[in-house]
Amino acid sequence: MTEALVKIDNLKVHFPIKSGLLFDRTVGYVYAVDGVSLEIRKGETYGLVGESGCGKSTLGRGLLRLVEPTSGEITFDGTDVRSLEGERMRLFRRRMQMVFQDPMSSLDPRQSVQSMLVEGLKAHGLHTDRAGVQKRLRATLDSVGLPASALNRYPHEFSGGQRQRIGIARALVLGPELIVADEPVSALDVSIQAQVINLLGDLQESLGLTYLVIAHDLAVVRHISDTIGVMYLGSLVEEADGDQLYERPLHPYTRALLSAVPIPDPRVEDRRERILLAGDLPSPADPPSGCRFRTRCPWSQPRCTDERPELRVFDDSGQRVACHFAEQIQSGELTAHEVRAELVRPDSDRAPEVGAELIVTRTDLPAP
Amino acid sequence: MALLDVRDLSVVFQRRGTRPVTAVDGVSFTVEPGQTVGLVGESGCGKSVTSLAIMGLLPRRGNTVAGEVLFENTDLLKLRPAELRDRRGRDIGMIFQDPLSSLNPVIPLGLQVAEVLERHQGRTRREALREARGLLDAVGIPDPERRLKEFPHQLSGGMRQRALIAIALACKPRLLIADEPTTALDVTIQAQILTLLKELVDNSGTALVMITHDLGVVAGLCDTVNVLYAGKVVERAGRHHLFAEPRHPYTDGLLQSVPRLDADRGGRLHQIRGSVSDNIPWSEGCAFAPRCDRVIDDCIGETVPLLGGALRCTNPVPKEVPV
């Protein structure tokens, strides 16, 4: 087993909710990331999945300190990242870079590709040797499959897939060890997605990169990740090796998520057991007490309300799960019950209310 | 008799000073009553424009729509605007991708649902609102009585999409066109909406035209699938057939390039070369030829016909012979 490149320990990122005309009063917090611990080993791909609003992007940004974490520890190759100040932090960023989701808005439309790539080199004082810079730019573009003639062109001259390649080149040009890719393919067409996924794989192989891939598409994450972490409402609910997670999902949320992903094969689709979750994600400004998932969980018990389950190692396989009843659900001792959907307001800070005649979480949808 | 019979539909966009763009290039397909038909393709293939043209929602200026759209033997393209308005919402319902921009932000939800009933079925406001309550309930919106008075921003994305479905189904249309109805939603919410759509369609006998880029969605829902590329149907088949034995290299490539949840990790994905914009006009051969792995000399030169009404390819992927 290789050593961990990144260690995150009990990371929290809370955003204050401000109110008031004259004075900013803090009236509450959005608990975007609320106590996440994980390790990313050198040369591996860690995939972080979850639905929108679960805090996966904030975690990635918090790791690079693009947003300042509220508390917790981040260790990168033995260095305590959170203790780095100002200039030292800026220089440290050379070792960890980010690829963003939308290649249209993450590239400056008025900057040529050359100027975009050189900007990073300048920031780190690597631009003095002209011939060397040119060589480096060409090599980087070549590695992402773009011609050297791209240097003098502007983002609008490229297609979506090519723009994402530019985004990857921009991250690569500094020779980082860790790349945080936030939804790297979700803005792309299906046939282009495969190209970018393959490119990320090739680069990892040739450059020994470590990836943190953040995505909502479980199929994509499963394809490229060694380890997968599933997030729900600011915390990690399950973590396992990719195949293990698919073969034996332990957390009820993971089960529901896996069963909800459509598979492009009608024979599989017709036979699948589907766990339909009731309702929506609760507001991260006012998460439910105890287990965050209990409001939508078909296996929830009284204990789930009182006690927040810790992420614990389940068995020898190293699979980690945050559920009090993982064993009982696994063995079938605990059976699913109906769940009434709680109405979630997108803009309210109040607790979710329980409605009357409601949608019901069902398991075992009969095949049509 | 087919409920909807689209014959040789073409849409050409032309702005002054630019070359005309053929967005939809002779698309034909039929929808039988109660059937679910999928239109699949990547961005720019003309799937959304097809649906807008069927509904007569394209702006008249700068667009040329040709062909026939027979809905119960009436050509919708020949109707006067007022006649078309009578049918939209009553005979044909439509759901769009982004529920927030399709709902009016300053009108309470109840009125937006009731409006359809007042307009098409001559209900009074009071009756329509009562019916709207039942409709919201039917699409699984909790506490519908209160929801009636609320505004779209007070609901989550999934609930908004449910409200939109309620509006589309208010007059029990015989045809429902859903344009990427789940693309803006999370997977667990997508599963809720797809299940809801399937149930409603099954129970009411409404025919559904499902427009999507997601092959997984199609696999679970559609009876017949039309694969579009650069404005033309390139392959048409029943879903079991299409997924088990894709014949067109584009369909085949697309299916192989999607990472599957139930496949093992790793390996390289099959990739289709180039991007959607790398194509040649259909009049000069197969638009997919520049990206195709199976391209032969016959592919370039003249328009490839839709063979047997199901496959537009001169060198299709061979059928697997069962051993």
Residues B202-221 as b/e (b if ≥16 CB within 10 A, e otherwise) read eeeebbbbbbbbbbbbbbbb
Q: Do B195 and A52 touch (CB under 8 A)?
A: no
User: What whole-number distance in Å separates Cα of residue B75 and Cα of residue B42?
Assistant: 28
- C-alpha angle B316-B322-B323 in degrees, rounded to nearest 5: 130
Interface list for B 259-298 with A (CB within 8 A): 259-266, 268-272, 275-277
Q: Is A246 in CB contact (< 8 Å) with chain B?
A: yes
Helix extents (H) in chain B: 47-55, 81-87, 99-102, 109-121, 125-138, 144-147, 157-169, 187-204, 215-221, 239-244, 249-257
Q: Do B258 and A194 touch (CB under 8 A)?
A: yes
Of the candidates B159, B176, B120, B109, the residue with the CA atom closest to the CA atom of residue A345: B159
- C-alpha angle A295-A33-B186 in degrees, rounded to nearest 5: 55
Per-residue pLDDT of chain A (368 residues; tens, 9 = 90+): 578 899 999 999 999 888 877 777 888 888 999 999 999 999 999 999 998 888 999 999 999 999 999 999 999 999 999 999 888 998 899 999 999 887 778 899 999 999 999 998 998 888 888 888 999 999 999 999 899 889 999 999 888 888 999 999 999 999 999 999 999 988 888 888 899 999 999 999 999 999 999 998 899 999 999 999 999 999 999 999 988 999 899 999 999 999 988 888 888 888 888 888 887 888 888 889 899 999 889 888 889 999 999 999 998 888 999 999 999 988 888 888 777 666 565 554 443 333 333 444 554 444 43
CA–chain centroid gap for A24, Å, is: 31
Element (H, E) at A259: helix A252-260
Q: Do A346 and B153 touch (CB under 8 A)?
A: yes
Q: Hey, what amino acid is at B4?
A: L
Residues, chain A: 368
Q: Is A247 in CB contact (< 8 Å) with chain B?
A: no
Instruction: Return phi, psi of residue A161, to 5°.
Output: -65, -40
Chain B partners within 8 Å of A282 (Cβ): none
Chain A partners within 8 Å of B213 (Cβ): 189-190
pLDDT band at B235 (very low <50, low <70, confident <90, very high): very high
Residues 6+ apart with CB under 8 A from B57: none
User: What whole-number distance in Å separates Cα of residue A340 and Cα of residue B227?
Assistant: 39
**pLDDT of A170:** 92
Chain A partners within 8 Å of B154 (Cβ): 345-347
Chain A partners within 8 Å of B183 (Cβ): none
Q: Do B259 and A256 touch (CB under 8 A)?
A: no
User: What whole-number distance in Å separates Cα of residue B94 and Cα of residue B178?
Assistant: 6
Pick the residue from chain A with its C-alpha nearest to B155.
Answer: A345
Q: Do A261 and B269 touch (CB under 8 A)?
A: no
Chain A partners within 8 Å of B219 (Cβ): 262-266, 268-269
| Mean pLDDT in residue range B147-176 | 90
Chain B partners within 8 Å of A350 (Cβ): none
Quote the pTM value: 0.86
**pLDDT of B82:** 92
Residues 6+ apart with CB under 8 A from A262: A269, B190, B194, B214, B216, B217, B219, B220
Q: Is A195 in CB contact (< 8 Å) with chain B?
A: yes
Interface list for B 149-168 with A (CB within 8 A): 153-159
Share of chain B above pLDDT 90, in %: 45
**Closest partner residue to B254 among A191, A223, A344, by Cβ?**
A191
User: What whole-number distance in Å separates Cα of residue B55 and Cα of residue B226?
Assistant: 19
Q: Is A145 in CB contact (< 8 Å) with chain B?
A: no
Q: Is A198 in CB contact (< 8 Å) with chain B?
A: yes
Interface list for B 113-142 with A (CB within 8 A): 137, 140, 142
Q: Do A222 and B259 touch (CB under 8 A)?
A: yes
The Cα of A213 is separated from the nearest Cα of chain B by a number of Å equal to: 15
Is 0.85 exceeded by the ipTM?
A: no
Q: Do A345 and B156 touch (CB under 8 A)?
A: yes
How far lies B290's CA from each of B192, B251, B282, in Å? 39, 15, 12
Residues B143-162 as b/e (b if ≥16 CB within 10 A, e otherwise) read bbebbbebebebbbbbbbbb
Q: Is A84 in CB contact (< 8 Å) with chain B?
A: no
Enter the tokens of residue B149.
Answer: 């008075």
Residues 6+ apart with CB under 8 A from A119: A111
Q: Do A269 and B187 touch (CB under 8 A)?
A: no
Chain A partners within 8 Å of B210 (Cβ): none
Q: Do B275 and A162 touch (CB under 8 A)?
A: yes
**Closest partner residue to B215 among A189, A264, A359, by Cβ?**
A264
Enter the tokens of residue A256.
Answer: 């529901």
Q: Do A216 and B268 touch (CB under 8 A)?
A: no
Interface list for B 224-253 with A (CB within 8 A): 239-240, 243-244, 253
Instruction: Return phi, psi of residue A32, to 5°.
Output: -65, -50
Pick the residue from chain B with its C-alpha nearest to A220.
Answer: B259
**pLDDT of B43:** 84
What is the edge-to-edge ordering of all strands in the sheet holding A25-41?
A: A25-41, A4-19, A71-76, A79-80
Of all residues in chain A, what percent are helix, strand and coil, respectively (each to 5)? 35, 25, 45
Chain B partners within 8 Å of A206 (Cβ): none
User: What whole-number distance in Å separates Cα of residue A112 and Cα of residue B36?
Assistant: 47
Radius of gyration of the CA atoms of chain A, in A: 22
Q: Do A198 and B269 touch (CB under 8 A)?
A: yes
**pLDDT of A45:** 94
The Cα of B140 is separated from the nearest Cα of chain A by a number of Å equal to: 6
| Mean pLDDT in residue range B25-51 | 91
The Cα of A246 is separated from the nearest Cα of chain B by a number of Å equal to: 8
| Mean pLDDT in residue range B60-79 | 91
Residues, chain B: 323
User: What whole-number distance in Å separates Cα of residue B38 and Cα of residue A25?
Assistant: 52
Whether A63 and A180 have beta carbons less than 8 Å apart is answered as yes
* Chain A to chain B Cβ contacts (< 8 Å): 174
Share of chain B above pLDDT 70, in %: 98
Q: Do A277 and B188 touch (CB under 8 A)?
A: yes
Of the candidates B269, B263, B276, B229, the residue with the CA atom closest to the CA atom of residue A195: B269
**pLDDT of A340:** 67
